[in-house]
């Protein structure tokens, strides 16, 4: 009888637990400075993880804060919010299911099928895919090892050369600087597949690939990406160990040498926007910087892919100053955003990073710009917080298609602006 009673109590506890409290993402809005301070505090404790903004230092009055709250802190966090009359709504109540949806059926489709590109893939599978793609396209695709990660994983970029005409310029795209932004690597795979299958069939893709070589780095932060598959889906930074702290990881998008670690980054290793010990302290950022330094004369367009919030950003993010070709970049981003709106109905914000989201020094786009690559953009792909980082696989296709639309618009403009008009060479 006694054991039966205990069993009954345990059963109830168990069901009560699983139906009432899941891991959740809350959308929280503070109205007063006092509430902002409380929220900043909450977002660094109770094992919560900030989704938006990326760091408490960006939280302001009236900003919509997206906060991941694990089940076992749910009550504490909600009690605190209620106690300080801070309004919140539950944005996601089924994070476990969404994570499962993102990792289900991986690697069951052949790499040649279109469904393969509508799923998320593990790091190992992406490495296989890189090799497979190069092997299947021996005359047009090469694998380049540009360096290795902190945990010694290879950083492979693909080089697409669809046309062998001389003096071609180049486009660089990197994906997955931030580990949890899974739509980014998915986009890099999509873009390569799209380029290879539509060259010679689609006018814009053909024009771009006739004029430019394309370098694609599908996963710039392999250690972090691996970690999001095995241990913590919410991880953002790389996985390097800091002297004198038990906290792990550097924000690679704060580690470049562009007003490094000024306002909008942190010297604190526990911060999500930790800038590292010095500029390019991390092997991942150093590898990309080294490659671009040695290819800066050919690379005319730099793109780096993130999520989420649907924005097309350009320098500067490290200062409020305007770049010299601000107007040019603004027009390109505007046209790209308009094309997305026209074809897919989604709104993308666009503008200089610092004025459009927040000051974010040490980013790859700003560093690349200062290196002399004057067409430099950060894309923040879908969505706007409906699923956030847990964008279901069924949304990959539309997210990638609209991003391809933006890449096309911008790349075509760059070609127009930088191409030597071949005719005039002979006629003048």
Q: Provide the binding-site residues for ligand DDK, judged by CB under 6 A.
A: 54, 178, 253, 306, 313, 317, 353, 357, 360, 363, 365-366, 378, 380
Residue 280's binding partner among ligand DDK, Zn ion, none (Cβ under 5 to 8 angstroms by kind) is none
Q: Contact, 52 vs 65, CB < 8 A? A: yes
Residue 408 interacts with Zn ion (CB under 5 A): yes or no: no
Six-digit token pair at 378?
Answer: 């950060």
Shortest CB 223 distance to ligand DDK, Å: 18
Sheet holding 87-92, edge to edge: 49-52, 64-69, 24-29, 87-92
Q: What is the C-alpha separation between 345 and 339, in angstroms, rounded?
A: 9
Residue 313's binding partner among Zn ion, ligand DDK, none (Cβ under 5 to 8 angstroms by kind) is ligand DDK
Q: What is the C-alpha separation between 100 and 298, in angstroms, rounded?
A: 42
Q: Contact, 176 vs 225, CB < 8 A? A: yes
Residue 255's binding partner among Zn ion, ligand DDK, none (Cβ under 5 to 8 angstroms by kind) is none
User: Which residues lie below 8 Å from residue 182, measured CB to CB, with a gap of 6+?
Assistant: 102, 120, 228, 307, 389, 391
Shortest CB 181 distance to Zn ion, Å: 5
Shortest CB 91 distance to ligand DDK, Å: 18
Give the CA angle between residues 116, 119, 123 to the nearest 5°. 95
Residue 282's binding partner among Zn ion, ligand DDK, none (Cβ under 5 to 8 angstroms by kind) is none
Shortest CB 71 distance to ligand DDK, Å: 26
Reference 29, options 5, 9, 53; nearest CA is: 53
**Binding region for Zn ion (CB under 5 A) out of 147-155, 306-314, 343-351, 370-378:** 306-314
Strand partners, 169: 212
Distances from the Cα of 194 to the Cα of 127, 199, 281, 381, angstroms: 18, 8, 35, 17
Residue 146's binding partner among Zn ion, ligand DDK, none (Cβ under 5 to 8 angstroms by kind) is none
Burial-class residue 83 by CB neighbours within 10 Å (0-12, 13-18, 19+): exposed
Among 254, 306, 374, 408, binds Zn ion (CB under 5 A): 306
Q: Which is nearer to ligand DDK, 81 or 362 (CB)?
A: 362
Residue 180 interacts with Zn ion (CB under 5 A): yes or no: no
Shortest CB 416 distance to ligand DDK, Å: 25
Q: Which is nearer to ligand DDK, 249 or 353 (CB)?
A: 353
Give the active site residue among 380, 386, 402, 416.
380
How far does the chain reach from its first CA to its final CA, in angstroms? 102
For residue 220, report the phi and psi dihedrals to the nearest 5 degrees. Answer: -75, -20
DSSP 254-312: G-SSSSTTSBTBBS-TTSTTB--SSTT-SHHHHHHHHHHHHTTTTEEEEEEEEESS-EE
**Binding region for Zn ion (CB under 5 A) out of 11-19, 64-72, 175-183, 241-249:** 175-183
Residue 178 interacts with Zn ion (CB under 5 A): yes or no: yes
Shortest CB 178 distance to ligand DDK, Å: 5
- What x-and-dash track marks residues 260-299 binding Zn ion by CB under 5 A? ----------------------------------------
Residue 237 interacts with Zn ion (CB under 5 A): yes or no: no
Q: Which is nearer to Zn ion, 116 or 308 (CB)?
A: 308
Q: Contact, 295 vs 339, CB < 8 A? A: no
Residue 48's binding partner among Zn ion, ligand DDK, none (Cβ under 5 to 8 angstroms by kind) is none
- Residue list 29-88, contact with Zn ion (CB under 5 A): none
Shortest CB 309 distance to ligand DDK, Å: 8
Residue 259's binding partner among ligand DDK, Zn ion, none (Cβ under 5 to 8 angstroms by kind) is none
Q: What is the C-alpha separation between 138 and 347, in angstroms, rounded?
A: 39
Let me know if 380 is a catalytic residue: yes
Helix axes 123-136, 222-230, angle to 10 degrees: 130
Give the CA angle between residues 395, 398, 399 to the nearest 5°. 80
Reference 376, options 302, 288, 291, 316; nearest CA is: 302
Q: How many residues bind Zn ion (CB under 5 A)?
A: 3
Q: Which is nearer to ligand DDK, 162 or 279 (CB)?
A: 279
Shortest CB 344 distance to ligand DDK, Å: 21
Residues contributing to the site for Zn ion (CB under 5 A)? 178, 181, 306
Q: Would you please indicate which residues are annotated as catalytic (active-site) residues?
A: 380
């Amino acid at each position: 009888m006694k054991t039966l009673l205990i069993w009954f109590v345990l059963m109830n506890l168990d069901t009560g637990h699983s139906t009432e409290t899941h891991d959740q993402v809350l959308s929280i809005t503070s109205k007063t400075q006092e509430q902002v301070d409380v929220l900043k505090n909450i977002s660094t404790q109770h094992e919560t993880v900030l989704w938006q903004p990326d760091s408490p230092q960006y939280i302001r009055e009236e900003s919509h804060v997206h906060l991941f709250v694990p089940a076992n802190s749910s009550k504490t966090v909600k009690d605190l919010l209620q106690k300080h009359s801070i309004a919140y709504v539950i944005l996601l109540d089924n994070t476990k299911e969404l994570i499962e949806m993102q990792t289900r059926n991986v690697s069951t489709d052949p790499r040649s099928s279109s469904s393969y590109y509508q799923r998320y893939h593990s790091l190992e599978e992406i490495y296989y895919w890189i090799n497979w793609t190069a092997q299947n396209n021996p005359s047009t695709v090469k694998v380049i090892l540009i360096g290795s990660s902190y945990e010694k994983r290879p950083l492979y970029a693909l080089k697409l050369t669809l046309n062998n005409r001389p003096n071609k310029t180049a486009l660089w795209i990197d994906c997955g600087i931030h580990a949890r932004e899974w739509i980014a690597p998915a986009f890099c795979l999509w873009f390569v597949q799209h380029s290879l299958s539509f060259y010679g069939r689609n006018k814009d893709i053909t024009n771009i690939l006739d004029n430019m070589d394309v370098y694609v780095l599908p996963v710039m932060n392999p250690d972090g990406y691996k970690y999001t598959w095995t241990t913590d889906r919410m991880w953002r930074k790389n996985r390097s160990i800091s002297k004198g702290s038990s906290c792990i990881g550097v924000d690679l998008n704060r580690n470049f040498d562009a007003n490094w670690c000024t306002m909008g980054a942190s010297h604190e290793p526990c911060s999500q926007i930790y800038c590292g010990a010095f500029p390019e302290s991390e092997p991942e950022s150093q590898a990309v910087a080294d490659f671009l330094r040695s290819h800066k004369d050919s690379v005319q367009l730099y793109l780096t892919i993130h999520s989420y919030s649907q924005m097309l950003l350009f320098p500067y993010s490290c200062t409020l100053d305007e770049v010299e070709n601000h107007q040019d970049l603004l027009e390109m981003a505007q046209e790209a955003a308009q094309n997305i709106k026209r074809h897919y109905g989604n709104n993308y914000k666009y503008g200089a990073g610092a004025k459009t989201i927040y000051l974010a020094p040490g980013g790859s786009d700003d560093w690349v710009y200062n290196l002399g690559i004057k067409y430099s953009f950060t894309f923040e792909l879908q969505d706007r917080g409906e699923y956030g980082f847990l964008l279901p696989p069924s949304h990959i296709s539309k997210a990638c298609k609209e991003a391809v639309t933006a890449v096309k618009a911008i790349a075509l403009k760059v070609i127009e602006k930088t191409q030597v008009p071949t005719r005039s060479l002979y006629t003048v």
